[in-house]
Structure 1
Amino acid sequence: MAAATRIGIPYYPRHSELEVMKEEEVDMIIEEVKDQLAELMTNQSRSYTIQRLFESCNQTQMSKILSFIATRQKLLDICFEEHGSRAVQKMIKHLEEPEQKRLLVSVLKPITLQLSKENGGHAYHVILQCMEQFLPEETECMPYTTLQIRERIVAVIMANALPLSDHPFGNYVVQYVVKMRIPYANANIIAKLRGHFVSLCMNKYASNVVEKCIDPNDVGDENSRRVMTEIFETSDFIRVLQDPYGNYVMQAALNVCKAFEE
């Protein structure tokens, strides 16, 4: 196999070789790359190979890999890079053990807001991937440990619902939580946004969140009515109607009102 690379890896396999590797060979590669794993994950020419390595790992090996990058600063540095974000998303898909998930979320929780608001638009995908992989909608079938993981991520998003809603990428994270249809989470998000719905309607990014918050299928009839009441009773009603983003929210709200009347 190849010797040195331009970033100093002494032993590195080709993609096709990863597909047929034995467990001990994968162990050897992990040992070789452990000190440079973060750098490799963000490297344009090596990130894909690292992702293929994840596919060859068993869960013991995945635990080792996770331990090498499970610090706040390392994950921030990796996730802020396009190729690093993709590699972390791939890694998340291959984490199956509850302890792995707990470790990752314990590191991600304090930096969830930073990742969600990262201006490059790469890091928020990691949060979405966590919610998709770790937070199944079938809560009645969910193990208690998975419920705890879900609650830790959702708690951060609920607490920061307002600054996330009008952010170019953070708004997607809020929308994702609303669409999960967790009653306590949606009630909390709406409470955080209360008093701001009119201005949010006229924001390019937050208007999408408002549309989710008036959809009774996502937030329930009572919450939907509360949000629409705030919008309809504002003295800025005409301004919202004339706003290019607010107009779409108003159309959605009128459709909901029509459905309530039927």
Structure 2
Amino acid sequence: MVKHQRWCRFLQERFEGVNPDEDDMIFHGVISHVVEFMVDTYGNFLMQKVMEVCREDQWMRILRVLVKDPTNFIRICLDKHGTRAVQKLIGIVHTREQVSLFMMALKTGVLELMLDLNGSHVIRCCMKTFGPQDNKFIYDTATMCCIEIATHQYGCCLLQYCITHSTVIQHEKLVSELVFNGLFLAQNCYGNYVIQYILELKIQAVISTIIPQFRGNYVNLSTQKYSSNVVQKCLKTFGEKDCSSIINELVSFPSFDQLIQDPYTNYVIQTAFIVSRGSLHSLVTKTSHRISQ
């Protein structure tokens, strides 16, 4: 019945205003199939309804069944239907015991979840709902595996969320580790977004770490599809002195005529033209005009 849309809706409606005897009867029919229903197209909606209306003792039974086998629990989190039901679960978990049980099971597959479309939604929901201490292992994993996560299609987005929602200490550790690998990440198809995001924070200590890595590499970075975006971000977020260094490095390149015709560097030069002021602006303008003549 649960795996058919019509009957699933019927059972969900039955949970509204049922008497205790009917409630127990439906619950006993559900509890032995919790894992199966959580990943079912229609069954996951019934589980969400059950979790909304069931008693505390029934709710604890559901939680214990789900976390009994951490491997199965992670599989549910990774499932396109299961992820919805688990996120509903997160919204209901409230006691210290419940949070502890949930997070212990989640901990067994946290990296796998962070690198998955559905799993990353579960991790994001945890960071939004639970406190810093409960989420500590998530931030520890993010810091320890930051390169793998930053260079992943889904991981790079989650990492930015981690940076935003971390404590001051967690933030410093994570950002420091990422910035230490700034030159590599800037050239990666996903990692470049993480570096751009960090640059937008305009933290002077971060900029001071980035500059020595990028210095002498701006021409190479500007000619690449992904890192050219990072160079543009540097021009928009760096101070005047550091912007001058970037621009001087570009315009003093012997083959500047080739650079200005490059499909990626061309955009970098345009950004330099927009952000530069005074004599520096004149230098960009004159050099560009000289080449185009």
TM-score, normalised with respect to structure 2: 0.72
Deviation at 1:13, TM superposition (A): 5.1
Q: Measure, in 2, the Cα distance between the counterparts of 1:242 and 1:58.
A: 61
Report Cα offsets for 1:139-184 as digits up to 9, x if no partner.
Answer: xxxxxxxx42122322122211111111111122211111125222
Contact between 1:92 and 1:130, CA under 8 Å: does it hold in 2? yes
Partner of 1:124: 120
Deviation at 1:133, TM superposition (A): 0.9
Partner of 2:58: 61
Partner of 2:147: 162
Partner of 1:83: 81
Q: Measure, in 1, the Cα distance between the counterparts of 2:185 and 2:160.
A: 13
Q: Measure, in 1, the Cα distance between the counterparts of 2:11 and 2:42.
A: 12
Report Cα offsets for 1:172-222 as digits up to 9, x if no partner.
Answer: 2211111125222222223433442122112222112112222336xx432
Q: Measure, in 2, the Cα distance between the counterparts of 1:260 and 1:24.
A: 75
Alpha-carbon distance change, 181 to 105 in structure 1, aligned in 2, over 3 angstroms: closer
Alpha-carbon distance change, 48 to 215 in structure 1, aligned in 2, over 3 angstroms: same
Of 23-32 and 96-105, more deviation after overlay is shown by: 23-32
Q: Measure, in 2, the Cα distance between the counterparts of 1:204 and 1:19.
A: 49
AA of the residue aligned to 1:244: K
TM-score, normalised with respect to structure 1: 0.80
Q: Measure, in 2, the Cα distance between the counterparts of 1:111 and 1:77.
A: 9
Alpha-carbon distance change, 5 to 213 in structure 1, aligned in 2, over 3 angstroms: closer
The alignment partner of 2:118 has SS state of coil
Q: Which has the higher contact order (CA 8 A, sep 6+)?
A: 1
Alpha-carbon distance change, 64 to 213 in structure 1, aligned in 2, over 3 angstroms: same
The alignment partner of 2:109 has SS state of helix
AA of the residue aligned to 1:43: D
Partner of 1:19: 16
Q: Measure, in 2, the Cα distance between the counterparts of 1:128 and 1:75.
A: 17
User: Is 1:215 the equivalent of 2:200?
Assistant: yes
Alpha-carbon distance change, 85 to 48 in structure 1, aligned in 2, over 3 angstroms: same
Report Cα offsets for 1:217-245 as digits up to 9, x if no partner.
Answer: 6xx4323432x314432x43222222232
Contact between 2:2 and 2:46, CA under 8 Å: does it hold in 1? no
Deviation at 1:104, TM superposition (A): 0.9
Gaps of 5+ in 1: 136-146
Question: Alignment partner for residue 232 of structure 1, among 200, 214, 217?
Answer: 214
The share of aligned pairs that are identical, in percent, is: 22
Q: Measure, in 2, the Cα distance between the counterparts of 1:259 and 1:56.
A: 60
Gaps of 5+ in 2: 243-293
Aligned-residue CA RMSD in angstroms? 2.7
Contact between 2:151 and 2:185, CA under 8 Å: does it hold in 1? yes
Deviation at 1:52, TM superposition (A): 1.8
Contact between 1:178 and 1:212, CA under 8 Å: does it hold in 2? no
Alpha-carbon distance change, 64 to 232 in structure 1, aligned in 2, over 3 angstroms: same
